[in-house]
């Protein structure tokens, strides 16, 4: 129940005294004191964030476009806010900004307490602007700088076989300057960053490769992710609230998932000593192969590997005392050369599509030599 109070509106006429009463709900809502604090900001351009608002009674924060340095058309309005002190008020824009802009703000009070904002000068000033304790209108001006756009972005990569040191990417689309990163699989989502490009300009980048260090050791899913340099500092900083994943035109994240079939080329080793034999074979002391492959036997050409004279298949793992037949036409005392290859193209034969086995990732190819002397049996 609302109380009634007497207003100072008493007058006398023909000896009669009349007193009027005004209901509390008919009183205009107080418009002072109010305050509005806002800082220049970077945003998506779809809203403006207010640091704090103090309202003497319920009302709104109203945004207007700049018109020659003065408030212009209405471009945003907050929800109806309660009286009191509020922090972190986000005011949506009716239409997102297309470019950096100056925005004028005003704090309005719901003077008639009807829940509807009405302020249409010069015809209707119902919900007027709140004032400070000094009687000044509560207004502010903020500069909104648009963040680099997140869309459209995309990445395209095909399944491929690799030695674990590289991954080829068909193309990537960046909506703004940013990066393309290769991520490990963590529970079906992009996880640890395995490799990342330098800063790339906005647009399409085609046919580039990631150098992976340390190399991947096993076959599995990896993710290629397009990132936007949101803080525009040229430094890749995922997960720190600075850079952000780009968005595809359909609204999904600009992430490509791919199976990376890894055939490792290291670590590998071959040991073979000079030796005397009595039969038609010699012994390779040890072979360590990171994948199925081939031990290639070559003739000597003036102290260098010559022509291929034999190929011996090898499996994955370590082997000792591997017996290898001497090639046709071998002469006692000749030097032989051994090279270890990884079966990479899957054709079952040593061919140009296979890769040399390496002592370590990025290291030297396996190549050893030995002299074999055939001793005639008595």
Query: b/e string for 111-147 if b means 16 or more Cβ within 10 A?
Result: bebeeebebeeeeeebbbbbbeeeeeebebebebebb
Q: Which residues contact 119 (CB under 8 A, 6 or more apart)?
A: 62, 108, 125, 126, 127, 128, 129
pLDDT > 70: percent of the chain: 91
Q: Residue 115: helix, strand or coil by DSSP?
A: coil
Q: Examine the pLDDT at 5 and tell me if it is beyond 70.
A: no
Q: Closest by alpha carbon to 151, among 191, 178, 190, 183? A: 178
Average pLDDT over residues 281-299: 97
pLDDT of residue 235: 94
Q: C-alpha 64: how far from its chain's center? A: 34
**Which pLDDT band holds residue 240 (cuts at 50, 70, 90)?**
low
Of the listed ranges 82-91, 114-123, 161-170, 285-294, the least confidently predicted one is 114-123
Mean pLDDT of all residues in the chain? Answer: 91
**Which pLDDT band holds residue 263 (cuts at 50, 70, 90)?**
very high
**Which pLDDT band holds residue 362 (cuts at 50, 70, 90)?**
confident
pLDDT of residue 110: 95
What the block records as the tokens of 149 is: 């756009």
**Which pLDDT band holds residue 120 (cuts at 50, 70, 90)?**
confident
Average pLDDT over residues 6-11: 32
**Which pLDDT band holds residue 23 (cuts at 50, 70, 90)?**
very low
Q: Cβ atoms within 10 A of the Cβ of 19, count?
A: 10
**Which pLDDT band holds residue 18 (cuts at 50, 70, 90)?**
very low
Q: Examine the pLDDT at 55 and tell me if it is beyond 90.
A: yes
Between residues 231 and 75, the one the model is more confident about: 75
Query: Using CA atoms in the order 189, 192, 196, 202, what is the torsion angle rounded to 10 degrees?
Result: 40
pLDDT of residue 4: 26
* pTM for this prediction: 0.74
Q: Which residues contact 147 (CB under 8 A, 6 or more apart)?
A: 42, 43, 44, 45, 230
pLDDT of residue 47: 97
Q: Examine the pLDDT at 371 and tell me if it is beyond 60.
A: yes
Average pLDDT over residues 352-377: 93
**Which pLDDT band holds residue 242 (cuts at 50, 70, 90)?**
confident
Task: Give 300-341 pLDDT, tens digit per residue.
Answer: 999 999 999 999 999 999 999 999 999 998 999 999 999 999
pLDDT of residue 374: 95
pLDDT > 90: percent of the chain: 84
Q: Cβ atoms within 10 A of the Cβ of 149, count?
A: 17
Q: Rounded distance, CA 267 to CA 82, Å?
A: 69
């Amino acid at each position: 129940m609302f109380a009634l109070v007497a207003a100072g509106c008493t007058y006398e006429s023909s000896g009669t005294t009349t007193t009027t009463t005004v209901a509390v709900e008919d009183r205009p809502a107080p418009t002072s004191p109010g305050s509005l604090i806002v800082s220049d900001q970077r945003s998506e351009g779809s809203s403006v964030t207010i640091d704090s608002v103090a309202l003497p009674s319920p009302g709104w924060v109203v945004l207007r476009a700049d018109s020659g340095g003065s408030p212009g058309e209405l471009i945003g309005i907050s929800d109806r806010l309660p009286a009191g002190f509020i922090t972190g008020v986000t005011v949506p824009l009716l239409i997102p900004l297309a470019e950096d802009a100056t925005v004028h703000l005003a704090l309005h009070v719901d003077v008639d307490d009807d829940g509807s904002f009405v302020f249409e000068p010069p015809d209707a000033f119902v919900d007027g602007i709140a004032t400070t304790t000094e009687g000044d209108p509560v207004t502010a001006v903020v500069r909104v700088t648009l963040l680099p756009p997140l869309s459209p972005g995309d990445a395209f990569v095909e399944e491929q076989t690799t030695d674990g040191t590289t991954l080829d990417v068909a193309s990537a689309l960046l909506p703004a300057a940013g990066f393309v990163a290769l991520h490990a699989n963590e529970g079906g989502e992009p996880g640890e960053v395995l490799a990342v490009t330098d800063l790339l300009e906005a647009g399409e980048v085609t046919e580039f490769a990631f150098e992976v260090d340390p190399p991947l050791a096993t076959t599995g899913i990896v993710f290629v992710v397009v990132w936007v340099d949101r803080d525009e500092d040229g430094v890749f900083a995922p997960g720190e609230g600075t850079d952000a994943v780009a968005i595809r035109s359909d609204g999904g994240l600009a992430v490509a998932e791919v199976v990376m079939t890894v055939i490792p080329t290291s670590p590998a080793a071959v040991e073979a000593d000079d030796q005397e034999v009595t039969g038609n074979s010699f012994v390779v002391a040890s072979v360590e192969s990171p994948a199925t492959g081939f031990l290639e036997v070559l003739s000597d050409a003036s102290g260098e590997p010559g022509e291929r004279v034999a190929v011996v298949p090898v499996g994955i793992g370590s082997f000792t005392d591997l017996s290898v037949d001497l090639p046709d036409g071998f002469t006692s005392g000749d030097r032989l050369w051994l090279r270890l290859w990884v079966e990479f193209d899957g054709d079952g034969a040593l061919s140009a599509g296979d890769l040399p086995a390496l002592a370590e990732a990025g290291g030297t190819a396996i190549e050893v030599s030995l002299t074999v002397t055939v001793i005639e049996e008595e």
